Structure 1
Amino acid sequence: MAPDLRSLATHHGLTLAYDDPFGETAPRPVPEETLRLVLRGLGVDPDAAPSGKGAAQRMTVPRGARCWLPPNLHEAPGWGFFCQLYELRSARNWGIGDFADLAQLAGLCGEAGADFLGINPVHALFLADPDRRSPFSPSNRRFLNPLYIAPDRVEGVEMPEGLEALRETEMVDYAAVAALKIGALRQAFDRGAERPQQEAFAREGGEALRLHALFEAISQRMVDEGHGAGWRDWPEALRDPARAEVGALAQELAEEVAFHIWLQMIARRQLSEAAQAAKEAGMRIGLYLDLAVGEVPDGSSTWSGAAAALPGLTVGAPPDMFAARGQNWALSAPSPTELARTDFAPFREMIGAQLQDAGALRIDHAMALWQLFLIPEGESPAEGTHLRYPFPDMVAALAELSQKHEAVVIGEDLGFVPKGFRRAMASANVLSYRILVFEQEEAGFKPRSAYPELALACLSTHDLPVLSEWWKGSDIEERRRHGLVDEEQSEQAAAHRREERKALVRRLRQSGTLRGRLNADAPELPEEVLEAAHRFLARTPSLLTAIRLADLTGPAMQTNVPGTTDEHPNWQPRSTVDIAQIAEDPRFARITDLMRSERPRPGTGPAQR
């Protein structure tokens, strides 16, 4: 590689090599063409000499950049729930959990003593292709997914036939839900429901909202004509919203555009009502929303330019011990140059959109504040490189918005965490994300004293099984069944899991949360272990502890199996328990009673430690 290219790449925040995950070879050099591709995306001539100010390379937190925390959280640490919104089951929803279910659940959890209720990302996906269902592969993070609208809470909606069949399904049928729900909402819109309010909402949303609605309208037209829902599969003349052909089509589709603006208005109002229900139920934090790490390359955000995306590159992860070939998340990456040029307006607007109704925000792959691993489209992750981002400026913007909206920020810091990152996040009051089954060292599970105070501690997350299935090793079998590991690797993992179970029981006993004789080789998870694990987390120093609702009421099936798409019903399993019955569930009652005892709200008495 030419010395000038090496110097130029380093000057603009690119890494030139990354370590071999198995430690068998020297660091792998990044291909020259990858460096050139990224530099061109940054607006830099790859053959020029470095000039001007280089990329920010210091992981420093500006003075005063501190995210908000409830004033009494250090004295009275909190707890709450998280769930997948779509999995909620009720007698009134249309086969998918919705914002009215969220409001009901928020009230129920608040009454049980919880301080927050977290859900999966509810970003806009593709209404014209509802089977593109991963909440972590959004079309646009500034807007909401209308499939979460509760139609029976909308003026003028009539109940269609087929609802009972949808309500009884074990898996969310996204295509069927979209056909019934969006069809019924369109009929209400055509009858003039709530049109005056829509005009004010459209004015407030401005050009960004108009372009998103226009994208959705064109997307539906394209699908009807045999194209894909994403703009990269559209005719060339429609791939740029500034083209005259797009302007002409916008006039033709004016009523469809108005409908999509109306859907956003209804969705935002219902999400706000759920946030209000959480506060009215006594929650100190309220709704806890989730922010995906990026947007897909063919969605609304990249089409409109709001994503400020680097062309020809996608986000992923380099090869490591868990994925020898690396990972490609197929998400676009923002240009740090463009972010800086616009005073971080795209970032501020996107974060601000989440915090309209969030008392807490979890940032998926929070390391993106410092760097992203970029992969040339169509290439292996082994061809990728890390690109540094203006960390101090992004943290300052995040802290400013957190304080403005009085919202807690949680940074998902799993996987490869750069040296010093967690320390920097703690200095900015961004909570770490600590998962019990990952908090292990060579000697076994870490003691509760090893958990940091500035953290949210929980049993597992959406990419992991609930504890009862972890105990049985169901996730290991799933990976084997889908060919993600071979038979030998699967057998080794199963043997290791048996040792992990013993180590978990040992740690729970040592912590004083589990007493009496118990067989760690029991085929099913003993109830005593589930309760002891929650009590263990409640007794850590971490300011927040989260209960996964599925650990109490199901579904037992894994939410998402990383490395699969349609091989596993990712993002589809539904709870078997109706929301109206959750408060009466014996396990729910025991665990919430335990949490109230260990982490009472301020003014309700001392914790029984």
Structure 2
Amino acid sequence: MSAQLDRLARHHGVTLAYDDPFGDGKRPVPDATKRLILDGLGQDPDGPPHGLPAPRRMSVPEGARCYTPPSLAQSPGWGIFCQLYELRSSRNWGIGDFSDLEMLAGIAGRAGADFLGINPVHALFLAAPDRRSPFFPSNRRFLNPLYIAPDRLGLEATDEVATRREADLLDYPALVAVKLSALREAFDAGVRTEGLEAFADGEGEALARHALFEAISARMVAEGRGAGWRDWEEALQVPESDAVAALQVELADEVRFHTWLQMIAREQIGAAADAARAAGMRIGLYLDLAVGEAPDGSATWSGAAAALPGLSVGAPPDMFATEGQNWGLAAPSPTALRAADFAPFRDMIEAQLRSAGALRIDHAMALWQLFLVPEGASPAEGTHLRFPFQDMVQVLADLSQRHEAVVIGEDLGFVPKGFRRAMETANILSYRILVFEQTEKGFKGLARYPEAALACISTHDLPVLSAWWRGEDVERRREHGLVDEERSDMDALHRKTERDDLLRALRRAGVLSGQIDVDAAEMPLGVLDACHRFLARTKSRLVGVRLADLVGPAVPTNLPGTLDQYPNWRPRSPTDLDSLETHPVFAATAALMRQERPRPEDATE
């Protein structure tokens, strides 16, 4: 029976054993996990294989090539990354918004940047504002209304808004309360409601169900239930039920309000995209796509997520997580995607590219496989499931060309053999992080960075460079019990070696000179500039500059492995947008990047 089960599992792309980082061989996958996945795929675990087999080769369809601006081949570009919510301005309501994004796009464009990248801005749970991670969305197809700029609708700030503006950490429940109340007043007063019906018609059933989900979610929370549909009474867990139809009539005005929120959000992010292009950027806005959606959110409730029941997305055991990771995200079904001719995937990508000149795909390996964990089980009991790689890459390439949008694949962590080669063939840029680009011999040199890549110092899950130098990430993991004392001591000792190796790499590249004290408690002046100059001199088509490295916040954006033990996704920038262009570090870095990577029109002057 086990041999038959294994044949069926292999036919449908279920990995039977995976590399054991703590042993000499493979770690076998429990039969219960194989059966759960096969059940979700609509297969009888005790029956014969039937249906299309999972892909065995990572081949890219002929002609499936993502878009790259032709000028990048002669004049590689650069841009700026930030967390949108962290932006501080004299006019926002205590959280960065789409109007701030529009202003920052103009600043970045004048500085010579080719793109402005932000965190995912997918719809979260308005009725549960503490569910704040942008990488754990309710629905990736729609936008987070918390980023709407109320003053653009003629709304005036209150004393509560003034309090929120002064805070160094975001208080999401307070922000949602004050902004949603004001936005509801504007909606009730008929502000910018013209064209709402046409917008709703254009978005179709997908938006209708998302708006209905939000309205029901708010009702359920008011009644003491959870915001996610798994906490609702059984009759409301299926959108086609009579109970849902009755609520749709009762909550019609609430549904219309949530539809209006999406229209306003779409208009405002569109204005920011227009501002980026008008400022001379070759790429414009660079949006971020989360790897999946919450299992109890709008997308899974409406059926748009095509989720496998009883399974979550995660990662296998490694040296940083000895039992693996369970990210808790819904696991999409390859069978359901095929049956729908990939419409859920196509529509979700299309929604991002309406406003994006570039799209970063978090955990891009999901195009080939995902590590699935049975709910309630240890991540070590999970396994990989293959996806229709060729079809998904073809959809991605077609949309990229249609919208003339660059695609970047976040290829960190466990990267299957051949995946980066396939990405390069499909013209999906690799995502190269300076602090990760190391071998046992030290930091990689300039020549080791590929052309088909975006290179940057760090990401939202890593400290800014000055904090990395101090080893703050090591100590925070120790403090929160994420890594034991012995390993933490080893990591702290190794950080000194890493600093020394980094300085050697910068000197070899000719971007750093003079004496630098590797034992200095604070990162010496010039190291940040040298790192940016180093990346700018690689052959990678794009280089990203993290705004937090220049003007703060210096504290971590996110501490992986924690929820409320650390204020993830809450730190705000100490620097007001009004003073950004004259900030000495920002101005100096922008001048450095313009010198190293001028735009084509500037290079010929």
Q: TM-score, normalised by structure 2?
A: 0.99
Structure 1 partner of 2:529: 531
Matches of 2:553 and 2:97 in 1, distance apart? 17
Query: Which of 191, 194, 207 lines up with 1:193 in the alignment?
Result: 191
Matches of 1:29 and 1:457 in 2, distance apart? 36
Could you tell me how far 1:337 is from its partner in structure 2? Answer: 0.6
Matches of 2:381 and 2:348 in 1, distance apart? 30
Query: Which of 246, 249, 263 lines up with 1:248 in the alignment?
Result: 246
SS at match of 2:331: coil
SS at match of 1:311: strand
Could you tell me how far 1:161 is from its partner in structure 2? Answer: 3.0
2:168 is equivalent to residue 170 of structure 1: yes
Structure 1 partner of 2:450: 452
Matches of 1:499 and 1:12 in 2, distance apart? 45
Structure 1 partner of 2:148: 149
Q: Which amino acid aligns with 1:301?
A: A
Q: Percent identity?
A: 67
Matches of 1:537 and 1:151 in 2, distance apart? 39
Structure 1 partner of 2:409: 411
SS at match of 1:547: strand
Could you tell me how far 1:53 is from its partner in structure 2? Answer: 3.0
Query: Which of 300, 317, 328 lines up with 2:298 in the alignment?
Result: 300
Query: Which of 573, 596, 599 lines up with 2:597 in the alignment?
Result: 599
2:539 is equivalent to residue 541 of structure 1: yes
Contact kept, 8 Å, 1:140 with 1:295, in 2: the verdict is yes
Matches of 1:489 and 1:448 in 2, distance apart? 31
Task: Encode CA deviations 1:206-242: one digit per residue, 9 max, x unaligned.
Answer: 1100100000000000000000000000111100000
2:50 is equivalent to residue 82 of structure 1: no
Structure 1 partner of 2:315: 317
Q: Identify which range, 191-200 or 544-553, moves more after superposition.
A: 191-200
Q: Which amino acid aligns with 1:555?
A: P
2:84 is equivalent to residue 92 of structure 1: no
Q: Which amino acid aligns with 2:171?
A: D
Q: Which amino acid aligns with 1:304?
A: S
Could you tell me how far 1:606 is from its partner in structure 2? Answer: 6.3
Could you tell me how far 1:26 is from its partner in structure 2? Answer: 3.2
2:329 is equivalent to residue 331 of structure 1: yes
SS at match of 2:202: helix
SS at match of 1:58: coil
Structure 2 partner of 1:14: 14
1:319-398 map, 5 Å: 319-398=317-396
Gaps of at least 5 residues in structure 1 are none
Structure 1 partner of 2:257: 259
Matches of 1:265 and 1:464 in 2, distance apart? 34
Alignment coverage as a number of residue pairs: 605
SS at match of 1:205: helix
SS at match of 2:159: coil
Cα distance change on mapping 1:508 and 1:606 into 2, 3 Å: farther
Contact kept, 8 Å, 1:456 with 1:542, in 2: the verdict is yes
Could you tell me how far 1:158 is from its partner in structure 2? Answer: 3.8
Contact kept, 8 Å, 1:458 with 1:546, in 2: the verdict is yes
SS at match of 1:188: helix
Question: What root-mean-square deviation, in Å, do the aligned CA atoms of Structure 1 and Structure 2 show?
Answer: 0.9
Could you tell me how far 1:25 is from its partner in structure 2? Answer: 4.5
Could you tell me how far 1:353 is from its partner in structure 2? Answer: 0.3
Contact kept, 8 Å, 1:239 with 1:303, in 2: the verdict is yes
Q: Which amino acid aligns with 2:158?
A: P
Could you tell me how far 1:49 is from its partner in structure 2? Answer: 1.1
Q: Which amino acid aligns with 1:455?
A: A
Q: Which amino acid aligns with 1:330?
A: G
Could you tell me how far 1:51 is from its partner in structure 2? Answer: 2.9
Matches of 1:111 and 1:484 in 2, distance apart? 42
SS at match of 1:73: helix
Matches of 2:99 and 2:301 in 1, distance apart? 31
SS at match of 2:352: helix
SS at match of 1:312: strand
Matches of 1:26 and 1:519 in 2, distance apart? 43
SS at match of 1:498: helix
Could you tell me how far 1:342 is from its partner in structure 2? Answer: 1.1
Q: Which amino acid aligns with 1:73?
A: L
Contact kept, 8 Å, 1:600 with 1:606, in 2: the verdict is no
Matches of 1:150 and 1:52 in 2, distance apart? 50
Q: Which amino acid aligns with 1:318?
A: P
Matches of 2:34 and 2:329 in 1, distance apart? 19
Contact kept, 8 Å, 1:160 with 1:184, in 2: the verdict is no
2:251 is equivalent to residue 290 of structure 1: no
Gaps of at least 5 residues in structure 2 are none
1:203-222 map, 5 Å: 203-222=201-220
Structure 1 partner of 2:103: 104
Could you tell me how far 1:450 is from its partner in structure 2? Answer: 0.2
Contact kept, 8 Å, 1:435 with 1:459, in 2: the verdict is yes
SS at match of 1:153: helix
Could you tell me how far 1:522 is from its partner in structure 2? Answer: 1.1
Structure 2 partner of 1:274: 272
Matches of 1:188 and 1:142 in 2, distance apart? 24
Q: TM-score, normalised by structure 1?
A: 0.98
Structure 2 partner of 1:4: 4
SS at match of 1:136: coil
Structure 2 partner of 1:51: 50
Contact kept, 8 Å, 2:93 with 2:157, in 1: the verdict is no
Task: Encode CA deviations 1:158-192: one digit per residue, 9 max, x unaligned.
Answer: 43331111000000111111000000000011111
SS at match of 1:333: strand
Q: Identify which range, 53-62 or 233-242, moves more after superposition.
A: 53-62
Structure 2 partner of 1:42: 41
Could you tell me how far 1:119 is from its partner in structure 2? Answer: 0.2
SS at match of 1:330: strand
SS at match of 2:600: coil
Contact kept, 8 Å, 2:291 with 2:363, in 1: the verdict is yes
Matches of 1:324 and 1:154 in 2, distance apart? 50
Matches of 2:523 and 2:447 in 1, distance apart? 25
Matches of 2:25 and 2:168 in 1, distance apart? 49
Q: Identify which range, 46-55 or 547-556, moves more after superposition.
A: 46-55
Matches of 2:51 and 2:591 in 1, distance apart? 60
Structure 2 partner of 1:515: 513
Matches of 1:505 and 1:40 in 2, distance apart? 53
Could you tell me how far 1:52 is from its partner in structure 2? Answer: 4.1
Q: Which amino acid aligns with 1:39?
A: L
Matches of 2:181 and 2:241 in 1, distance apart? 30
Structure 1 stretches of 4+ with a deviation exceeding 2 A read 157-161
Structure 2 partner of 1:480: 478
Matches of 2:225 and 2:573 in 1, distance apart? 35
Query: Which of 224, 241, 245 lines up with 1:226 in the alignment?
Result: 224
Matches of 2:248 and 2:351 in 1, distance apart? 25
Matches of 2:96 and 2:432 in 1, distance apart? 27
Matches of 1:260 and 1:598 in 2, distance apart? 46
Cα distance change on mapping 1:503 and 1:606 into 2, 3 Å: farther
Structure 2 partner of 1:421: 419
1:483-498 map, 5 Å: 483-498=481-496
SS at match of 1:387: strand
